[in-house]
Chains A and B, each alone.
Chain A
Amino acid sequence: MKRKKYILLSCMLFLCFSAFITIKTPLFRKPPNWPEPAYDFSKNPLSERKIQLGRILFYDPILSRNNTISCSSCHLQYTAFTHVDHALSHGIEDRIGTRNSPALVNLAWHKSFMWDGSINHLDMQALAPMSNPSEMDESIDKIVHKLQGTTLYPKLFYEAFDDSIITGEYVLKSIAQFMLTIVSANSKYDSVMRNQATFTLQENNGYILFKKHCAVCHTEPLFTNLQFENNGLEVDSTLKDYGRMLITNRSEDSITFKVPTLRNIEFSYPYMHDGRFKKLNDVLKHYTTGIHASKTLSKYLKDPIVLSSNDKVDLVTFLLTLTDKHFLFDPQYSYPRSVFYPDSKK
């Protein structure tokens, strides 16, 4: 009898312990009521060391040709992992690209990347800015060579991959792991959806207007339907950017761009693929009175969107509830100072 008790007790202890382990290490957590992520984690299983390695690489300018530009140069945490103030993002030697850098957030749910969907897998995304001549202007084989020659990285790669010979695969997989952990799901909007907070009257009216006019493309909870749409912007005559058509060569993709998320939109200005609008009011003005009709115009924009000036104020008030302060200042995404400056005090 006593023995049975012991067995029962130890079983319970074991269960508690294993539960504790699984609770303690959620390296990636799907927010409640969100769809399943698109990323296949089985091919690149998350580990704390790989995520940290990815974070260090993300902040290290060694990825650029002259060691001046890191991923974070154009994707700053405090501004929703995008480049603010610049319509077109600038990279190495202040060279200016042709587009506004996209906000890096909730990427585990995306099946394609970049404004034109040119990248088919999160692992491969980092290759594009690395080798783009106006971004980092460096090739992956030279990056691997540079990393191998440091005192820091062979050790970190060994700890993460059991291999101190660095490869392109390891570099890309660890950066992807860090990007996968960049999840924003703690805005006021999210609290309201979890019944932990309530919208003000104005926010609620904005939410109703949002669902009526915007949600078909900026679909909850990601606030993007992940599709490509022509949202009625006239082609900039200096950039001549025809969006997805440049990748697919299909005329029906002309002037279509990937629908961006609206999460943290308060901080991700300027707006649109070429950053042509500085303020949310400019964006609403565009959707109500500025639509440029062309053959590929989104079917959702064929009927005019009518908003009174009060409606516009309410809609903006709702959009501000998508700001996730916890995300913007979460230390797990921040610059790994202790790695780059081990002697400095916190």
Chain B
Amino acid sequence: MIQVRQILPNLPAFALAFALGLSACAAPPPARPAEQQPAPPAEPIKIGALYGVTGGMSSIDAPGLNGMKLAAKQINAAGGLLGRQIELIAIDGKTDQTATTNAASEMINVHKVVAIGGLNDSTFALAAGPIAQKAGIPFVTAGATLPTLPEQIGDYFFMAPFGDDAQAYAIADYAIDDMGAKTAYMLVDQAYDFTTALAKFFKERFTSRGGSIVLEDIYRSGDTDFSAQIAKVKALNPQPDVLFISAVPSEAGITTKQFREAGLTAPIISGDGFDTPLIAEVAGEDADDVFYSTHAGLDNPDPKVQAFVKAYTEEYGRPPENAFAALGYDTLNLIADAIKRAGSAEPKAIRDALAATKGFNAITGQITYMEGQRKPDKTVSIIKVQDGKYSFVKEIKP
């Protein structure tokens, strides 16, 4: 009897371990739900959609995935590509480097995708990109803007967005030309590639055009109290003309709120890290006089932008959350365009067609890859936030 009693407490543990072991061995490649289409005669073309749908990147990655899905649905409704339907293989990268690389590898090796799109942050693109490069699968990043990504990763890596250099130059030009700013304060998140690069390019342009940086301060993503930094700004005399905050979406709202609550009224400027509903949600009424450069203004009167906004609203019951939805949409259309021009769904042919993209009309501006470059020259949109409302100001070609 004693023996049985000793074993009993362990039984659930064994059962669990055993069941897991079994399911690990027996799990078949899962059946993916087709994109609610009747079964097409030919094999679908599989394209990977790699985003960190949960975790820190979700506020910009989830809209991106929705944008990609919308594009796939529209293409399929119009008869597909080369007579075949598109099947999106969307796997959550969980805003984690290990999970993101596993997901990229799963798409390529298990699901046999012919191309991958997605990811809005360079840290993750640098980890996932080389896997696609090694396997010879074209990878189009939807929103990672580190300008050196294509050279660092290789000839199968393409950028749908402009580089950080372009967006930083654009907001610096706007501050000088349209706001008449001469002095700027800089607050830089030290935890990300993106934020440090953006700050570097902003400083380069702002000072080379005669502006001066009166104070440069730092914080780290995850900080919630900016009172020390704010005290240093308040001690400045005279006050700077603009406050440049190089942040990722998670800190966009909270910095705006704390700076405004402290009584600092100078315009706040930033890059596409500020392109998040969080500014209005967190800062509320304090979200005033915020300007940022990003990929697309969704109230841009351009008919193709408005058609996208309408389709997105019909599909998801809400307007696009930010420009990353448009970038996701553009990314899939860019890949589809390359497949169409290549007349083939072979990864090598898609890569060559992508590299030859000329004047592709995307929601976020025309995409052309110059000879040997895989980073497009695009226009940059400036957005203003006033009373918690986001409005398109103008497009700038830096």
A binds B: no
